[in-house]
Structure 1
Amino acid sequence: MVITKSRLVLGATVVTLSTIAITSLINHSRGQALFKASPKELVDEVWQIIYRQYVDGTFNQVDWPAVRKEYLNKSYSNPQEAYKSIREMLKKLEDPYTRFMDPEEFKNMQVDTSGELTGIGITIGQDEKTKQLVVIAPIDDTPAFKAGILAKDVVLEIDGKSTKGMNTNDAVALIRGEPGTKVRLKILRNGQTKRFEITRARIEIHPVRYSERQTSIGKVGYIRLNQFSANAAREMQDAIRKLENKQVSGYVLDLRGNPGGLLQSSVEIARMWLDKGTIVSTIDRQGEQDREVATGRALTDKPLVVLVDKGSASASEILSGAIQDNNRGVIVGTQTFGKGLVQSVRPLEGGSGLAVTIARYHTPSGKDINKHGIDPDVKVELSDKQRQDLWLHEREKLGTLADPQFAKGVEILGKQAAQNTTTSNKN
């Protein structure tokens, strides 16, 4: 199977769905028939994909040929035995983003073309040091968001079951469920435990929201990007063009709480803001770089501020890193999540699937942000209370001058406009 850029994602496991576009799925019934004949073939298929594509040629210091011998010497009488062995095999890599999905889990990862999802609306990952399940970000206006779940919350229990030693696939299976049913989460936040009971729902997600804000420096375009889904670039293009027609003086692009998504979506959106320069470099196991660059087709050159926080991950970090390193705009907020790995998702025989880490990405200046993130140019911290009040109880203030990070962005835009006027007068 040829891997295209539309299938490359940036290391986030989404509880409601995946933002992965998979277009050439294996015929399910045919795959099941083949799989029943030889479960061992699936074990070897997964081993082979890791052997050919995994980002680290040492397999994180694991003797991968010995692993193959170990697991192919076993007998498998049913699919579940093979699934268990595959998960054990992948666990040896100690990479939470390289993961196997059984048919049901893989089906749940696929993008629903109607745009309607079922779940509570959080993005989760596994902390590479502690191995704990961590909330990357709640998705705007979803049950988890409205309940008060925050980025970096540690998920301790799901419906009373401890998550210690649990992988993201198992967590997803427990959190999912029919609309109207409830799930109970025990969360650790800043040393304190909190309990939430959240009702699952059908969720319609539009990745881009925008508006014109009247400020002391004139009209400012405010664009909030929730995730880098397949239709995010189209919606972003529409937002910029409409705001340009309103003759805004500058832009505030809000990536706070954006957990990422498709690599190509982040590249396409970066090209709307950057007229020239490198956007991102991906480095595979041979050290070969695939550079994405601007194409001279930016939709605007007006002053730009980008808002980020600890929930801004992966594709959000690519976009903010490209803007920062090319001096296209000013990054405001707090340090981002720190996820610099690229996954490819593969359908397997029997309807199952595999996500495998195939590359690392660097910002244009060569920074590897994995486990560190993007440092803002201007740091503006919000307390947990401020964040909860702003994002949950006083939502109407988000993206207004009552929002401290947005207000700082407007202040910066005003200074940039003044500098541009001074330069213009000198010329």
Structure 2
Amino acid sequence: MSGSKNIVYQVAPGGRLSGSARVPGDKSISHRSIMLGSLAEGTTEISGFLEGEDAIATLNAFRAMGVAIEGPDGGRVTIHGVGMHGLKAPAGPLDLGNSGTSMRLLSGLLCGQSFDVELVGDASLSKRPMKRVSVPLGEMGAVIETAEGGTPPLRIRGGQALKGFHYEMPVASAQVKSSLLLAGLYAEGRTCVTEPAPTRDHSERMLSGFGYGVERDGATACVEGGGRLAACAVDIPADISSAAFFLVGASIAEGSDLTLEHVGINPTRDGVINILRLMGADITVMNEREVGGEPVADLRVRSAKLKGIRIPEDQVPLAIDEFPALFVAAACAEGETVLTGAEELRVKESDRIQVMADGLKILGVDAEPTPDGMVIRGGAIGSGRVDSRGDHRIAMSFAMAALRAAGPVTIDDCANVNTSFPGFVELARACGLSIKQED
């Protein structure tokens, strides 16, 4: 993984974003397309695949378990599926790098296999909580050992008889929901997951696309074990989480007028648009269409005067990955922005509440972290050197903050941007951001 070397972003102040751009493919959908395509019968053709390190980690894991995969080449991947019971034991541990999605979803999928397997990750992933999946999977009959404290590595014992059950999730998490539904494919009987607030539903949509029945009733999704997956074509839309940096950048930089093409606007992921609009952002949704069961549109965003708001808690799960960028929007807004109900941000690739608050303070912003969110009083953004702590979303967020900064912004530890957004520097520069990368 690229995280072993320090990459520094040097961003000059000012500028505006304009023109048209297409950000890379959706990371969540890219992960799931590899998983389900590998377990399907037949050949799955994928276009728009995200060639970032996280999604490549998932792809390499299935190659290590005997799946023939061609590509990625220009976003195209061909998977020769092995069926539900065709995976083979890997020669060693599966290294998932920085990808929490890979580890949590694979833990569910792999606890139904006949072989033992160990899941490992980098230093950041090795600190992330895994009991949220290992405990409910254990209730289904899985045998999963974690390190002390419930963190990776995970050792999964094969050959266990799983039983379906109904799980009421204590915290909204698409990764936990997806992990349990994937385990449910291998369980005897019916597995149902009820979530306390809506989370992204890419797993349910994609299971249906691969011909596996998913029953949805309000906040509950159910699968019956013992079915099969049929190969299909998957066209992955551009990732709204990656588009979020440009939505914020164009909103805060005077004179900006930017169109983001072919962006996935799944209603379980559109919180960033809703929150920015509540703050006064000028975002137009154009050319709406459906691609492979996922709603897609072009987003035109023009600069606007933003105002501080109290972020509605029902929007928090719909924008959980976009808050680093939204904190930058709040720093440029007039008045106070208050976020609550987002304690999940403390256990992402970094403690995103604390790391963003620290960086904003260095740039002269009044940002006060709270246990489950932040209070930001908008004002002038200064100049300074911030540490992204190896968190890709924090690095890109501070790059956009330079559009309104009084002087240069230097961002340390940016190598992991390649986990989700290869080519970020080049695309940002093409849109008008004055950014340089130094190794």
Indicate whether the TM-score tops 0.5.
no
Bigger RCO (CA 8 Å, 6+ sep): 2
* TM-score, normalised via structure 1 length: 0.29
* TM-score, normalised via structure 2 length: 0.29
